[in-house]
Amino acid sequence: MSIYLDRNSIVLVQGITGREGLYNANRMRAYGTRIAGGVTPGKGGQTIEDFPVFDTVSEAVARTSATVSIIFVPPPFAADAVMEAADAGIKLIACITEGIPVHDMLRAVAAIPADVRLIGPNCPGLVTPGQSLVGIMPGHVFSAGNVGLVSRSGTLTYEIVDQLTRAGIGQSTCVGIGGDPIIGTVFTDCLRAFQEDPDTHAVVIVGEIGGTDEEDAASMIARREFTKPAVAFIGGRSAPEGKRMGHAGAIVSGSSGTAQAKVQAFERVKVPVADSPATIPELVRSVMREPARK
Amino acid sequence: MSIYLDRNSIVLVQGITGREGLYNANRMRAYGTRIAGGVTPGKGGQTIEDFPVFDTVSEAVARTSATVSIIFVPPPFAADAVMEAADAGIKLIACITEGIPVHDMLRAVAAIPADVRLIGPNCPGLVTPGQSLVGIMPGHVFSAGNVGLVSRSGTLTYEIVDQLTRAGIGQSTCVGIGGDPIIGTVFTDCLRAFQEDPDTHAVVIVGEIGGTDEEDAASMIARREFTKPAVAFIGGRSAPEGKRMGHAGAIVSGSSGTAQAKVQAFERVKVPVADSPATIPELVRSVMREPARK
Amino acid sequence: MRLLEYQGKELFAKAGIPVPQGRVAASVEEAVQIMREHPAPSVVKAQVLVGGRGKAGGIKFCSDAEDVKGPAQAILGMNIKGEIAKRILIEQRVDIEKELYLSITVDRASKKPIVIASAMGGMDIEEVAAKEPSAIAKYCVNTAGGYWPFIGRRVAKEADIPAAVTGQFVSILGKLYALFFDVGAMLLEINPLAITKDGKLIASDAKVDLDDNGLIRRADLEAWRTDLPDHELEQRARRTNLNYAYLEGKGNENVGVIGNGAGLVMGTMDAVRAAGGEATDFCDIGGGAKADVVRNAVDIVTADPRVKALFINIFGGITRGDEVARGLIAALDGGTWKKDRLVVRLTGTNEREGRAVLEAAGIVAVETMNEGAAKAVAIAKS
Amino acid sequence: MRLLEYQGKELFAKAGIPVPQGRVAASVEEAVQIMREHPAPSVVKAQVLVGGRGKAGGIKFCSDAEDVKGPAQAILGMNIKGEIAKRILIEQRVDIEKELYLSITVDRASKKPIVIASAMGGMDIEEVAAKEPSAIAKYCVNTAGGYWPFIGRRVAKEADIPAAVTGQFVSILGKLYALFFDVGAMLLEINPLAITKDGKLIASDAKVDLDDNGLIRRADLEAWRTDLPDHELEQRARRTNLNYAYLEGKGNENVGVIGNGAGLVMGTMDAVRAAGGEATDFCDIGGGAKADVVRNAVDIVTADPRVKALFINIFGGITRGDEVARGLIAALDGGTWKKDRLVVRLTGTNEREGRAVLEAAGIVAVETMNEGAAKAVAIAKS
């Protein structure tokens, strides 16, 4: 088992004829992901490196029965691509594109049906190790197992997964939810899914400064809606107030969004917070040994 | 039993300090409806003929536990009033106002949560005889019983209910859904509710020219989603093509929306169509005597 | 409120939708002046709301200022299916390669704006729907989400719009959608949406129907209202905010009908026909009508010389019987209509008070709609 | 992109939100000219982005052209918390009765625009939230439904906005909401929203933060960008589309940090601090960076004289190790930075190819982030 994604997921690549789209389509296929083809308006009917290309997602869905889509479309057109996927019946959308106008996403998340799961935008995607990779992560750092991971960061995730894998701790599903202010899936969504997944025995939550997603996750744990063992890490402890760290989500404004507040929120609900990615595997082992929180 | 409304429904009157609002608040109270008070922005804190007045619906809901609202607010502000009611947690809204811009309603119906039932606009409201009247209908023509009625028309409904009552046929709930192009509740919604209501044994459907609501109702019957005995009436058989009959909904455009098409749609699913309101009671008696459609 | 072609095109042009160069004229002199300023192969089009003006001779061609006189003279004042052409639109001719169809309207069933497109333009869309339903693509736009370009791409694909113009099509549809909400339209139709020989999309015609209720938000558009060629009594009714339609059919119309509520008035018209007569009008005094509204309704309906009997059918809900009765008495007192050609049916709210007012003036109200219809038809035929 | 007060007020005025009469000046002469044209009791305000300009002396009063010289001279060029005031806003003084607070921002949790209002304006809203949370009303607007006046009435009621100005408040909020979407704002804040002695609402201050990504839709606003008083290296980075922040804290910053991905760069900064050093910057080359991006990043980060060691930490996903390595070699070849003050950590996609490129140039990459941080700090302190 896993969350969101498994070996049977049939995947489309929106923007497959672009440089990143094609490069990653090949990498995903090499990983074992069932890539059914791609979509690029105006290039329908072509074939690119054996991938059939369609003009519209609805046409692609009709021909391939895909239910998952990954988006590599330039920022001005990416929200449109998200809406197109949702409209065409795609149920899991991973939007990789960085730099989408926040107001485009405000409109998009409001219009997407409730049964469509959007990951991102500005995210690395998700992977169910050994089964399917929908994203831009380096597949070789992942290994199949029973620890779920959800992260606001991209590359920091690889760093942490790498540590887990080297320590012999495999993963059920790893989700990079993205760093933008408006994203489709947040920590609490993933925790809810991990709670339901029998093959996830513990979860690593990789947070960062800005917003209150980490506090919301801690509240959910306090309410006993998530009861599995968990370990957290918060990036940006050394970031000064008022400076935006790369993406709009990561900014400490006054007293809100500080690393300290997030660390405290997790510690209050007995979720240990790692000082460094290097210590995460050890913490995971220790929480998995402990009796479950009640 | 009944649909949507019963003796326990607590009702607010939006626009209670207006002429029609106050007049009908008194009439509804006289009928037995539990009127908890009213809302008029800027007049909160006053009392008008023993009705407490609030500035906002959310305040009124907090103080009175009302779950139903009836709207007598001028057209430019009526969609706002509908949204306010939905936002404040009201679950049944009857919007009487005539002349609301269609585009206001397009926006409003798109934004109202799925669990809020809007009746109208440009409708006479609804009544569960002997229990509660939320609307502008003349209460004395109704009598409690087991025949549901749903109608696109206002006054024609009174005409028909009057015939039913005189013939000794009481009603479970009568709903005037309104004649505007965009309305919250259509025939099929009401049929679904009547299907679930054990105290409704048969239904009268009062349609008119324009649109395809009658055809949709007939399709629902064809799909066996509504299986109780039914009788229909279609107003406007003598209306010429291309002329708008009073409200934008009632217009025959080319081959679509004709009385003939609607009559045929009902006849195809074995729902008899009355020639005149006067013959409806007789048809109701005859369908109730027949074995149920299978 | 339906707009004439030139008005619709003015809205299109402001919204950035390409339309042919053109100007409107109300006289031959104006037409000549226009052609003098823009001498080019042009088309002269009657500005009327009824369909089928082409077959009726309402579209002609010309190429210079001399040449325009004949067509202008022929079309101005032309009676097309009962509608007089008061204006002509003079437009530069466009070389058309292919004709498409595109419209947005309000879809009752989905409660959303619906986009309809077809690669078979130039003919009535209902005709296309009947002949080749698969040639039509429809898409209900999620009002909450609004228009996104993917909608245009999807519709274009499904309607078989040529790939070479899909980009333009998507852009035009986006502008049309924005205009739809901007003006509060019930219908925006471009038929044909022409593909020119040099591969450009251009709106060859424009059919615009605005929501009358929405004009409270766009008072600027209200000014176009006087251009509409409705019946004189309809214009008079509109100025006084009365829901009135002048009905014309087989010429046997003889009973004036007034009621409260569109459904009841339609039911009354039907009852009149069932009784062997025919309604001259649809006149709905609406909910909660006061005495002066009733009086105005009586004045307008009885100003129609075809009216041989007047049937007033009131079932009071929000409308109160006594108000109606008072208005009626005032109308009879102040006008020329005689009470012996009047049939009143009054029931519902304040029925007793209303009947008392009528009886004091010597009018006995009937009990039922069918009874009233029969009596009115009998009077009309007497 | 944050705007200066005068820019924000220009947007407000265009959107129909009342603001005091005012003009901006960049010199004493301009200030004198403005006061000559509009001689009235005025306030002279430093145009800076940092808060607390009032306490720092950045707000002064004057009443005529002579009178303005002193304040203008004092404020222009003033250093307020490290930011130089290059412009002053000269505004007619408003007689204030009471100060309210109103803002709209993007709420991450609800994924909606959130309206925040309070009758306790004039001070920092976080301060109000801490002292008297019940004085603050919040409302998340359903993006699909958009703004309706009831939202303003509800917020006004809950925030205890005086009833006499509720109508104005509802109207201003509606305009603010439209502006929020029109310009693609992350934050629109009016604090204080003043009630004047004659009962009018007026925006006394304007804080506007635009979404940088949204500027692709509003290129016209991009022009204001040059007014922003960021650090010179940040300006240079922005011109080349590099995610770079110049970090200033206790003065012990010594290690330049470059990485791919905001999270990894922050993690690297944290690791540098844990190793006893401090990052001089945040520099994210982003996903899929090509060689020239890497080269540019190295150039900008090392242009900072505080940088004693440079730590490049790459974990390849969409970013390929060989591209990074090539960019790095090019930067070293073309620049003055020495490889003995460089620590590279390279892993993930095309890690092997990247390491090979580096080794050919005599650079040995470290294995882990913590190891790299420790090594970089050691170099910086050597």
Predicted confidence (pLDDT) per residue in D321-359, tens digit: 898 899 889 888 888 888 899 999 998 888 899 999 999
The reply to whether B22 and B85 lie within a common domain is yes
**For residue A259, what is the domain's CATH number?**
3.40.50.261
Q: What is the pLDDT of residues A1-53, one digit of tens each?
A: 799 999 999 999 999 999 999 999 999 999 999 999 999 999 999 999 999 99
Count Cβ–Cβ pairs < 8 Å, chain C vs chain D: 5
The reply to whether B21 and B77 lie within a common domain is yes
Residue A249 placed within a domain: yes
pLDDT of residue B255: 62
| A55-69 per-residue burial string, b: 16 or more CB within 10 A, e: under 16 | bbbbbbbeebebbbb
Query: Which burial class, exposed, middle or buried, applies to D198 when counting CB atoms under 10 A from its CB (0-12, 13-18, 19+)?
Result: exposed
Question: End-to-end alpha-carbon separation of chain C, Å?
Answer: 39
Q: What is the pLDDT of residues A104-113, one digit of tens each?
A: 999 999 999 9
Which pLDDT band, with edges at 50, 70 and 90, does D1 fall under? confident
Residues in A touching D253 (Cβ below 8 Å): none
Q: Give the domain-ending residue among B92, B121, B150.
A: B121
pLDDT of residue C70: 95
Q: Is the pLDDT of residue D57 over 80?
A: yes
pLDDT of residue D158: 96
Residues in C touching B107 (Cβ below 8 Å): 143
The reply to whether A293 and A173 lie within a common domain is yes
Q: Is D223 on the interface with C (CB under 8 A)?
A: no
The CATH homologous superfamily for domain C21-92 is ATP-grasp fold, A domain (3.30.1490.20)
The rounded distance, in Å, linking the Cα atoms of D17 and C29 is: 48
The reply to whether B106 and B170 lie within a common domain is no
Least confident of B24-33, C90-99, C359-368: C359-368
pLDDT of residue B253: 61
The reply to whether B160 and B249 lie within a common domain is yes
Chains with at least 3 CB pairs less than 8 angstroms from chain C? A, B, D
Q: What is the pLDDT of residues B264-291, one digit of tens each?
A: 999 999 999 999 999 999 999 999 987 6
The rounded distance, in Å, linking the Cα atoms of B83 and B105 is: 10
- ipTM given for this complex: 0.90
Q: Is the pLDDT of residue C5 over 70?
A: yes
The reply to whether A73 and A219 lie within a common domain is no
The active-site residue out of C10, C30, C83, C189 is C189
Mean pLDDT score, A141-162: 93
The reply to whether B155 and B254 lie within a common domain is yes
Can B201 be counted among the known catalytic residues? no
Task: Give C317-333 as a DSSP string.
Answer: SSS-HHHHHHHHHHHHH
- CB contact under 8 Å between B56 and D157, yes or no, is yes
Which pLDDT band, with edges at 50, 70 and 90, does B294 fall under? very low
CA angle C207, C210, C214 (to 5 degrees): 165
The reply to whether B99 and B145 lie within a common domain is no
**For residue A77, what is the domain's CATH number?**
3.40.50.720
Mean pLDDT score, A237-246: 77
Q: Is the pLDDT of residue C48 over 60?
A: yes
Task: Enumerate the H helices of C231-368 as residue ranges.
Answer: 232-239, 262-274, 291-302, 321-334, 351-360
Q: What Rg do the C-alpha atoms of chain D give, in angstroms?
A: 25
The rounded distance, in Å, linking the Cα atoms of A290 and B64 is: 50
**CB proximity list for C146: less than 8 A, separation 6 or greater:** A107, A111, C177
Nearest to B155 among C186, C245, C260 (CB): C260
Residues B57/B39, Cβ–Cβ less than 8 Å: yes
Give me the number of domains chain A comprises: 2
The active-site residue out of C101, C139, C147, C246 is C101
pLDDT of residue D230: 67
CA distances from A56 to B237, B282, C153 (A): 45, 56, 7
* Mean pLDDT, chain D, whole residue set: 92
- DSSP lists the bridge partners of residue A128 as A132
**Predicted TM-score (pTM) of this structure:** 0.90
Query: Which burial class, exposed, middle or buried, applies to C109 when counting CB atoms under 10 A from its CB (0-12, 13-18, 19+)?
Result: middle
Nearest chain D residue (CA) to A153: D263
- Identify from B119, B141, B155 which residue to disrupt to test chain C contact, counting C C-beta atoms within 10 A and taking the largest count: B155
* Mean pLDDT, chain C, whole residue set: 92
Query: Which burial class, exposed, middle or buried, applies to B41 when counting CB atoms under 10 A from its CB (0-12, 13-18, 19+)?
Result: buried
In percent, the amount of chain A with pLDDT more than 90 equals 84
Least confident of A238-242, D124-128, D324-328: A238-242
* Mean pLDDT, chain B, whole residue set: 93
Mean pLDDT score, C342-365: 90
pLDDT of residue A294: 47
CA distances from C308 to C226, C242, C302 (A): 30, 21, 9
Mean pLDDT score, A138-155: 93
Check residues B290 and B114 and name the one with the higher pLDDT: B114
In percent, the amount of chain C with pLDDT more than 90 equals 70
Q: Which amino acid is at D139?
A: Y
Residue B120: CB atoms within 10 A of its CB come to: 30
Q: What are phi and psi of A78, to 5 degrees?
A: -70, -40
Nearest to C142 among A57, A84, A111 (CB): A111
Segments forming the whole domain that contains residue A254 = 138-294
Mean pLDDT score, B73-86: 97
Mean pLDDT score, C131-154: 93
CATH topology of domain C232-381: Rossmann fold (3.40.50)
Q: Is the pLDDT of residue A211 over 80?
A: yes
The reply to whether B159 and B62 lie within a common domain is no
pLDDT of residue D228: 56
Q: What is the pLDDT of residues C174-202, one digit of tens each?
A: 999 999 999 999 999 999 999 999 999 99
The reply to whether B164 and B62 lie within a common domain is no
Residue B2 placed within a domain: yes
- DSSP lists the bridge partners of residue B119 as B94
Strands D79-80 and D83-84: antiparallel
Residue B156 placed within a domain: yes
Q: What is the pLDDT of residues B186-212, one digit of tens each?
A: 999 999 999 999 999 999 999 999 888
Q: Give the domain-ending residue among A86, A121, A156.
A: A121
- CB contact under 8 Å between A75 and D144, yes or no, is no
The rounded distance, in Å, linking the Cα atoms of D12 and D96 is: 19
Side-chain-side CA neighbours of residue A5 (13 Å): 33
Q: What is the pLDDT of residues D58-97, one digit of tens each?
A: 999 999 999 999 999 999 999 988 788 999 999 999 999 9
Task: Give D56-87 as a DSSP string.
Answer: TT-EEEE-STTTTHHHHHHHTT-EETTEE---
Least confident of B31-45, B160-174, C119-133: C119-133
CA angle A172, A287, A147 (to 5 degrees): 5
* Mean pLDDT, chain A, whole residue set: 93
Distance from CA of D276 to the nearest CA of A (A): 12
CA distances from C81 to A15, A56, A130, C229, C311 (A): 54, 45, 73, 12, 30
Q: What is the pLDDT of residues D230-248, one digit of tens each?
A: 688 988 998 898 999 999 8
- CB contact under 8 Å between C145 and A111, yes or no, is yes
Q: Is the pLDDT of residue D292 over 60?
A: yes
User: Domain segments of chain C: what residues?
Assistant: 21-92, 96-215, 232-381
The CATH homologous superfamily for domain C96-215 is ATP-grasp fold, B domain (3.30.470.20)
The reply to whether A144 and A107 lie within a common domain is no
pLDDT of residue D226: 56
Helix, strand, coil distribution of chain B in percent, nearest 5: 35, 25, 40
**A-side interface with C, Cβ within 8 Å?**
41-42, 44, 55-59, 77, 79-81, 83-84, 87-88, 107-108, 110-111
Residues in A touching C167 (Cβ below 8 Å): 42
Tokens of A162: 């790498």
Which pLDDT band, with edges at 50, 70 and 90, does C141 fall under? very high
Residues in D touching C217 (Cβ below 8 Å): none
Which pLDDT band, with edges at 50, 70 and 90, does B118 fall under? very high
The reply to whether A156 and A218 lie within a common domain is yes
Q: What is the pLDDT of residues B209-251, one digit of tens each?
A: 988 899 999 999 999 999 999 999 999 888 887 777 765 556 6
